Amino acid sequence: MLATLEVMTITAAADGSALGNPGPAGWAWYIDDETWAAGGWPHGTNNMGELKAVLELFRATASIDDDLHILCDSQYVINSVTKWMPGWKKKGWRKGDGKQVMNLDLLMELDEAIAGRRYRFEWVKGHVGHVLNEAADVRARGAAEAYQRRAPVPEGPGFPGAAATRPASPTTAAVQAPSLFELDEPDHPVTVNFSSSEYSRLVARATSAGITVDELIRGLA
């Protein structure tokens, strides 16, 4: 008798929010009340939140082999992943007019995260009462409002088994680790190894900010 392998599908909504756009920004993905995550930045755009929500959903589910059904109200995100990214990559992450694509760091990370994954997007209209979309929207906006108030961000329970890989929030990271250049040790050279994709993201960020890569790295400390 041939065994039948049942393919499971995870259905999740992903959404972003930015108060003022740009302004305090949040992202969230939601499966159910026990399985969701949220985060954000003190300053960002709605598109950044939308991209980050999908990125963190892929990261949270990276250890499983289930199909991923993503409910998303952002045509920008859906088109970026399903239509535009292959062409952008061939052109060195530049658009048809030669200009660098926006949100390059998030797009490159998302490109890595989706490699080898089985997924499909479904566009849903926002703010019309769709249960999963509304749940993600509420949490993304809650994260943005927390940054606006400078209050703790409700990060959610995450995905089962993925808590150890979840990125720390900026506030948590600042508490847990001292600055690289504030360690109470004598000055000494520091060597940091980057993969080619990581270095490309650093170059893109530095170019966007009008500074050198060295200056960017020192500014992160």
CATH 3.30.420.10 in the chain is located at 9-166
Determine the topology of domain 9-166 in CATH. Answer: Nucleotidyltransferase; domain 5 (3.30.420)
pLDDT at residue 69 greater than cutoff 60: yes
More confident: 161 or 33: 33
Catalytic residues: 15-16, 50, 73, 127, 137
In the beta sheet, which residues pair with residue 39? 27
Question: What per-residue confidence (pLDDT) applies to 161?
Answer: 75
Q: What is the mean pLDDT of residues 74-93?
A: 96
Q: What is the mean pLDDT of residues 173-183?
A: 37
Q: In the sheet where 35-44 sits, what is the strand order?
A: 35-44, 23-32, 9-18, 67-72, 119-123
Share of the chain above pLDDT 90, in %: 65
* Burial class of 191 by CB neighbour count within 10 A (0 to 12, 13 to 18, 19+): exposed
Task: Pick the closest to residue 145 from 35, 37, 40, 33 (CA basis).
Answer: 40
Task: Pick the closest to residue 104 from 221, 194, 207 (CA basis).
Answer: 207
Q: For the chain, give the mean pLDDT.
A: 82
Question: What per-residue confidence (pLDDT) applies to 206?
Answer: 57
Q: What is the mean pLDDT of residues 141-164?
A: 90
Instruction: Quickly state the pLDDT bin for 170 (edges 50, 70, 90).
Output: very low
pLDDT digits (tens, 9 = 90+) for 194-220: 555 565 566 556 555 556 656 666 665
pLDDT digits (tens, 9 = 90+) for 87-138: 999 999 999 899 999 999 999 999 999 999 999 999 999 888 899 999 999 9
Q: What is the mean pLDDT of residues 28-42?
A: 98
